[in-house]
């Protein structure tokens, strides 16, 4: 399906579903309680995003100190940003999705699944894979002697 059509359906459909859920919850627990619950989830979500953002920032610094590229940590920061935006929007479905993105193992699995699906993470060109797509590593050991010649 065309990505533009999917985006348009999400742009129109998601707010309508959120509105329906808000109306249904409001009819069960009352309008004021629904509004207060929506505000509470936004405040709680912002606090949790801030805490986890600091944690990810510390891991980025540790990774940089080891001399490695903090690619996964940067992607986690991006997912945390999306989670924060979802938690600030009023609605219980976006709040649930935002809170799920705050669970570190789920967040990593989401990132890895997106990377594998997009083809950004896979076997090296010319590499061999087993039946499940995992790369089979072949190690070639070359033995020999060397000597250093200085000019």
Q: Are 79 and 103 in contact (CB under 8 A)?
A: no
| In the block, residue with structure tokens 């509470």 | 40
Beta-ladder partners of 129:
135
Q: Which residues pair with 135 in a beta bridge?
A: 129
Residue 115 has pLDDT above 90, yes or no: no
Asked if 45 and 52 touch (Cβ cutoff 8 Å), the reply is no
Where along the chain do its domains lie?
Answer: 35-119
Burial class (CB in 10 A: 0-12, 13-18, 19+), 63: middle
In angstroms, the CA 115 to CA 18 distance is 29
The CA–CA distances, whole Å, from 64 to 78, 112, 118 equal 18, 21, 26
Q: 54, 77 in Cβ contact below 8 A?
A: no
Confidence class of residue 121 from pLDDT cuts 50, 70 and 90? low
DSSP at 129: E
Does residue 128 surpass a pLDDT of 60?
no
- The pTM for the full model equals 0.70
User: Sorting pLDDT into bands at 50, 70 and 90, what band is 76?
Assistant: very high
CA separation for the pair 118, 98 (Å, rounded): 22
Task: Give me the chain's average pLDDT, please.
Answer: 85
- Does the pLDDT value for residue 1 go beyond 90? no
Quick check: helix, strand or coil at residue 144?
Answer: coil
Task: Assess whether pLDDT exceeds 80 at residue 148.
Answer: yes
Which of 64, 83, 60, 62 has the alpha carbon at shortest distance from 72?
60
pLDDT confidence of residue 126: 53
- Count of all residues that appear for the chain in the document: 151
């Amino acid at each position: 399906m065309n990505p533009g059509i999917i985006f348009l359906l999400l742009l129109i459909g998601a707010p309508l579903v959120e509105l329906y859920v808000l109306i249904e919850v409001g009819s069960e627990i009352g309008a004021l309680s629904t509004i207060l619950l929506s505000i509470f989830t936004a405040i709680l979500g912002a606090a949790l995003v801030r805490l986890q953002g600091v944690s990810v920032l510390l891991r980025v610094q540790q990774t940089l100190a080891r001399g490695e590229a903090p690619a996964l940590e940067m992607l986690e920061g991006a997912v945390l940003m999306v989670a924060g935006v979802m938690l600030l929007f009023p609605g219980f479905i976006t709040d649930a999705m935002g809170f799920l993105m705050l669970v570190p193992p789920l967040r990593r699995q989401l990132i890895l699944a997106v990377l594998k699906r997009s083809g950004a993470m896979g076997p090296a060109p010319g590499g061999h894979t087993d039946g499940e797509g995992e790369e089979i590593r072949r190690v070639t050991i070359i033995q020999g002697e060397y000597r250093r010649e200085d000019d």
